[in-house]
């Protein structure tokens, strides 16, 4: 997919495979934003284009954006580009420089939790952060007190995929090596930027927060509904975030029979068993192309964003909060008081934050009982997000970072 603007600057990236929220926020949004603001031409390889045209677009771009990839092929591309010299256009009238490589990553892969389903490919640490070695195993204790092995090196994991500690270390190290070899790194949060500078010694790191195109979310006037709809949506990485709230959810259901928990995505039986059947609504995940209109159709009164404080979660972004604000009626949020939510949400003004299950019950009760407070928090949050996370606010800083990388590369090649 190519976009052409009046700019002489060009950015290339790839987004092959199934569409996802990750590639939307970290590839499509920045390249589309650069184009819409007239700052750059953009080219995204979706894996279905002519290889020769793709290679030409990549090598003639100013910036080659690599998203969350590593290993032999990624490093070979970087090495090829690093070995290229400046040249001239066919007519000899223009000096051409190889692209600057920008590596983008939106998670802290060093700290994937054992309860995260991606642990099978990326897990390298035990619960307490201890580095795993070949032959190690991890156990967990079930509700009845039974201890079971969930990960055993060299054995299939819960979903049947082989768990290999040594291969995981190589895979994660390969990603970090790619980041160090790139000309620059972009990440969505200040915490992750600090981590990559201090731990992985990346010198040029820019925080490009996950940003929004409000027009991507349809404004639909839905019919009024009965009761209070409380939405949580997400995947298998949030098991540890929900676990402390099992009894809190039960308390809310007993206290407020008009409440309905709307769960979209991964269903955790051990918590949903605490919710009466008539107060629970389950929805299967949908392909990402259908995600945004479906998000609006969930018709939520309250947006839940549970999160516990750990190394992995501190590097996350607050996109679940942003997305809940983009419908016809901005949804107030109750979020874990840690990571991106603690950094961005002003408790009591743009949302509510909780630190314990007891505080979860207390503050969710406020939102259930007080419609005026829900409206106030939603509207305040919408204003904050429009001012701070609209692509028009965040893209100029990204373009400036790209420009600095280009200037540095040109100076190096001219030396």
Q: Where are the domains of the chain?
A: 2-108+171-211+391-414, 110-165, 214-388
Residues 245, 392: Cα–Cα separation, whole Å? 38
pLDDT in tens, 29-73: 999 999 999 999 999 998 888 888 888 889 889 999 999 877 778
Q: Where are the beta strands (DSSP E) in 256-413?
A: 259-265, 280-283, 302-305, 333-336, 352-354
What is the pLDDT, as a whole number, of residue 4? 45
Q: Compute φ and ψ for 5, nearest 5 degrees.
A: -115, -170
pLDDT in tens, 324-364: 999 999 999 999 999 999 999 999 999 999 999 999 999 99
The CA-to-CA distance between both ends of the chain, in Å, stands at 35
2-3 vs 41-45, strand pairing mode: antiparallel
pLDDT of residue 376 exceeding 90: yes
The CATH class, in words, for 214-388 is alpha beta
What is the pLDDT, as a whole number, of residue 1? 52
What is the pLDDT, as a whole number, of residue 88? 64
What is the pLDDT, as a whole number, of residue 99? 95
pLDDT of residue 93 exceeding 70: no
Mean pLDDT lowest for which of 11-20, 198-207, 220-229? 11-20
pLDDT in tens, 207-255: 999 999 999 998 888 899 999 999 999 887 788 898 899 999 999 999 9
What is the pLDDT, as a whole number, of residue 145? 77
333-336 vs 302-305, strand pairing mode: parallel
- 88: which DSSP letter? E
pLDDT of residue 3 exceeding 90: no
What is the pLDDT, as a whole number, of residue 115? 87
- Where b means 16+ CB within 10 Å and e means fewer, 59-84 reads eebbbbbbbbbbeeebbebbeebeee
pLDDT of residue 84 exceeding 90: no
Closest by CA to 180, choosing from 209, 204, 147, 148, is 204
Q: What is the dihedral of CA 292, 297, 298, 301, to 10 degrees?
A: 110
Of 1.20.59.20, 3.40.50.800, 3.40.50.2000, 1.10.760.10, the CATH number of 2-108+171-211+391-414 is 3.40.50.2000
């Amino acid at each position: 997919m190519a976009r052409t603007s009046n700019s002489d600057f060009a950015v290339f990236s790839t987004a092959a495979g199934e569409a996802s929220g990750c590639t939307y926020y970290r590839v499509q949004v920045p390249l589309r934003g650069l184009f819409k603001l007239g700052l750059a031409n953009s080219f995204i390889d979706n894996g279905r284009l002519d290889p020769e045209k793709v290679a030409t677009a990549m090598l003639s771009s100013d910036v080659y954006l690599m998203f969350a990839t590593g290993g032999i092929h990624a490093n070979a591309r970087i090495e090829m580009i690093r070995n290229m010299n400046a040249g001239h256009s066919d007519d000899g009238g223009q000096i051409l420089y190889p692209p600057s490589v920008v590596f983008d990553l939106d998670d802290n892969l060093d700290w994937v939790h054992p309860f995260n389903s991606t642990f099978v490919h990326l897990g390298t640490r035990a619960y307490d952060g201890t580095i795993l070695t070949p032959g190690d195993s991890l156990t967990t204790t079930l509700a009845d007190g039974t201890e079971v092995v969930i990960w055993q090196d060299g054995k299939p994991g819960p979903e049947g995929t082989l768990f290999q500690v040594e291969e995981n270390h190589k895979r994660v190290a390969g990603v970090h090596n790619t980041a160090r070899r790139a000309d620059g790194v972009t990440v969505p949060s200040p915490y992750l930027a600090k981590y990559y500078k201090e731990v992985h010694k990346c010198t040029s790191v820019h925080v490009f927060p996950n940003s929004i195109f409000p027009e991507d979310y349809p404004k639909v006037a839905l019919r009024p509904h009965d009761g209070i709809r409380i939405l949580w949506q997400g995947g298998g990485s949030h098991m540890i975030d929900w676990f402390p709230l099992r009894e809190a959810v039960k308390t809310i259901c007993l206290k407020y029979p008009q409440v309905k928990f709307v769960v979209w995505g991964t269903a955790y039986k051990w918590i949903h068993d605490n919710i009466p059947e008539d107060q629970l609504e389950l929805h299967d995940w949908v392909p990402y192309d259908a995600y945004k209109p479906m998000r609006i159709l969930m018709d939520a009164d309250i947006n839940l964003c549970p999160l516990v404080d750990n190394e992995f979660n501190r590097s996350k972004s607050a996109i679940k909060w942003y997305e809940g604000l983009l419908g016809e009626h901005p949804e107030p949020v109750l979020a874990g008081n840690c990571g991106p939510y603690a950094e961005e949400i002003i408790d009591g003004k743009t949302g509510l934050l909780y630190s314990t299950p007891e505080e979860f019950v207390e503050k969710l009760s406020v939102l259930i009982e007080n419609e005026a407070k829900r409206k106030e928090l939603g509207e305040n949050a919408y204003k904050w997000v429009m001012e701070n996370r609209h692509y028009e606010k965040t893209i100029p800083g990204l373009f400036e970072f790209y420009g600095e990388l280009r200037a540095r590369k040109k100076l190096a090649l001219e030396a």
